[in-house]
Amino acid sequence: MKKFYSFLLLAIILAGCRSESRVNQLFLSSVDSMMNQNPDIAYTALKDISWGKIKTRRNRAYYALLLTQARHKNFIPLRNDSLINVAVNYFRGQRDQEKYARALLYKGICIEEMNDPQKAIEVYAEAEKVALGTTDYLTTGLINSQMAWLYQDMYIENQADIERFKKAREYFRLAGHKKNEYSVTSLLGQKYRSTSQLDSAYYYLGNALEIAREMQDSVALFHNYSLLASTYLIDEDYVHAKEFALYVIKNHGNIPIPDQTFHCLSRSYARLGKTDSARYFYEQILNSSEPNTKHSQLITLAEILKAEHNFKAALLYTERSRRLADSIIDESRRMDLYEIENRYNNQRLENINQRLEYRTRVNHYIIILISLVAIMISIVFCVVIDRKHRDINEKISFIEQLKTESALYNNTLLEKLDKQNMVEIQLKEALEKRIQTIRELIDVSYRYGGVPDAFVKHFNKTLNINRLSEGALDDLSDVVNAKYDGVIDYLQEKHTDLNTDDINLICLLCCGFSATEMSVFYNHSNGKSIYSRKRRLALKIGLDISLDEYVAMSLHYCNTQKEHYLAES
């Protein structure tokens, strides 16, 4: 009946899978609910689902977790952790800590199957830390159980595996998962049999029997009776060993009896001196060439021969059993060495791959760095070339302005200076020298205009050679003041904070020089600096109009005052 319901549930799930929204939270939750009881049905429902049918990141992560879990529960090898990493990476940043803990558990199982026990232990430890913050006791128990098995395989001392199995048992009990609780309890009883703590072995095997009765699991019940029988044999309580072994043989029904039960019963009868019974049950044991089975047979036969006082034959079989045990141990060691060698080779290959990956990453960084440097150099080169071209264009434009303005040049000051004294003659010579510089710059543009580097070189050389001597314009304000109706005195009286540079600039404006021409006088390669000077001076004296307009108005005012004075005289 139970199987019928299982198949019915599977049919309903598969029917739901044919809808457009085939993989949603409801479907995945349904599969999850049957995972522990019917993992085969869960795997059947999951295995053929296309990744493209899963629309959201959450559903993909949930599906990756369930498919990994179903594969493990159906004993399908987990060859890598790429699938479960989808779940780990998603649930790490979510509030669903239960699924995150479960995802870490199965990531650890994947890594363990990839022969990296040390890393698996680290992942299990992280999983346990997350699981302890939840009420998912089943997952917490499974984590401890996996760690216990791994400790056992790694031969960790101090009974670390036993302590982990105890924790797993407690969490399975809290989860109400009887099947897992029984498995761990029975296993603890078996592990304590190989120690000197036989009381603990009896305790856990007795608890395992109680749980088996609660589950009404006959296989589990007779399995633990067999374990108790062999425990009494180890404890040299041959009467109880015989009774429990006989109980299993007489009441097992259709449940297969392990050969170990017959060995236990035969050895118990031999120790009790009942050699016929010992021989009888020994004959029930099937012959086998398997080393461990053969070893048990040799020991049992040696016990019977000793009970029959055939000590010579007993010694012979004891010696044969010892040699066989040594060969089994040697084989086991060879397998261990082979496993260690495989792990070493895998680790070495992993280290090589990591180094290659590191080198590749470094090479990528170097290539990126070289590319960035090349791009920066290219940008700087382009900026330099662009600035150079702009500088040349500015100089050419400057000379073109000089050509235009020099063609229209008609400076009244120079005409007036023709008839003045020696001081004025020196000033005239200085001004004429700068005008000669303008002519030379125009000539430079004609001769070197097609060769940018030569043009810039001769442009700067011309300006530097024809630089005004210090004090060349010292008398300019006196000459301008005299020739333009005392305009300088008027402006100095009105603006007491004017300095010598300010006065010289105003004088040149009074003489009618353009900004381009004045740039030559000040040895500048363009007129921008003159415009800046004029703006600063206008702000300094608080003008609402341009400096040129203000100087023109001042000249007009002084000229008008002079005419009124002459008219009155």
Is there a domain that residue 420 lies in? yes
Q: How far apart are CA 367 and CA 360, in angstroms?
A: 10
Q: Give residue 139's pLDDT band: very low, low, confident or very high (50, 70, 90).
A: very high
134-143, 410-419, 477-486: segment of lowest average pLDDT: 410-419
**Is the predicted pLDDT of residue 470 greater than 60, yes or no?**
no
Q: For 30-56, what is the mean pLDDT?
A: 89
Most confident of 243-247, 381-385, 413-417: 243-247
DSSP state letters, 241-299: HHHHHHHHHHH-TTSPPPHHHHHHHHHHHHHTT-HHHHHHHHHTSPP---HHHHHHHHH
Is there a domain that residue 258 lies in? no
**Is the predicted pLDDT of residue 17 greater than 50, yes or no?**
no
Is there a domain that residue 451 lies in? yes
Query: Which has more pLDDT, 10 or 360?
Result: 360
- Report residue 231: phi and psi, to 5°: -70, -45
**Is the predicted pLDDT of residue 141 greater than 90, yes or no?**
yes
For residue 483, the enclosing domain spans 409-568
Q: Give residue 82's pLDDT band: very low, low, confident or very high (50, 70, 90).
A: very high
User: pLDDT value at position 410?
Assistant: 45
Between the alpha carbon of residue 30 and those of residues 16, 74, 95, 459, 496, the distances in Å are: 11, 18, 21, 88, 96
Q: Give residue 285's pLDDT band: very low, low, confident or very high (50, 70, 90).
A: confident
Is there a domain that residue 121 lies in? no
210-260 tens-digit pLDDT: 999 999 998 998 898 899 989 998 889 999 989 998 998 888 888 888 888
Is there a domain that residue 546 lies in? yes
User: pLDDT value at position 386?
Assistant: 75
Is there a domain that residue 554 lies in? yes
Amino acid type, 222: F
Q: How far apart are CA 101 and CA 137, in angstroms?
A: 11
Query: Which has more pLDDT, 349 or 292?
Result: 292
Dihedral (CA of 121, 122, 127, 130) sign: positive
**Is the predicted pLDDT of residue 395 greater than 90, yes or no?**
no
**Is the predicted pLDDT of residue 529 greater than 90, yes or no?**
no
Q: How far apart are CA 413 and CA 418, in angstroms?
A: 9
**Is the predicted pLDDT of residue 301 greater than 70, yes or no?**
yes
163-177, 318-332, 412-426, 475-489: segment of lowest average pLDDT: 412-426
Average pLDDT of the chain, as a whole number: 79
User: pLDDT value at position 314?
Assistant: 82
Number of domains the chain contains: 1
Q: Give residue 409's pLDDT band: very low, low, confident or very high (50, 70, 90).
A: very low
**Is the predicted pLDDT of residue 153 greater than 90, yes or no?**
no
Which residues have C-beta within 8 Å of that of residue 248, sequence separation ≥ 6? 222, 225, 226, 229, 257, 261
Q: How many of the other CB atoms lie within 10 Å of CB of 482?
A: 14
12-26, 246-260, 535-549: segment of lowest average pLDDT: 12-26
Q: For 361-389, what is the mean pLDDT?
A: 81
**Is the predicted pLDDT of residue 435 greater than 80, yes or no?**
no
Which residues have C-beta within 8 Å of that of residue 252, sequence separation ≥ 6? 222
Is there a domain that residue 444 lies in? yes
Is there a domain that residue 478 lies in? yes
Query: Which has more pLDDT, 509 or 91?
Result: 91
439-466 tens-digit pLDDT: 565 555 555 555 455 555 555 555 455 4
Most confident of 147-156, 258-267, 287-296: 258-267
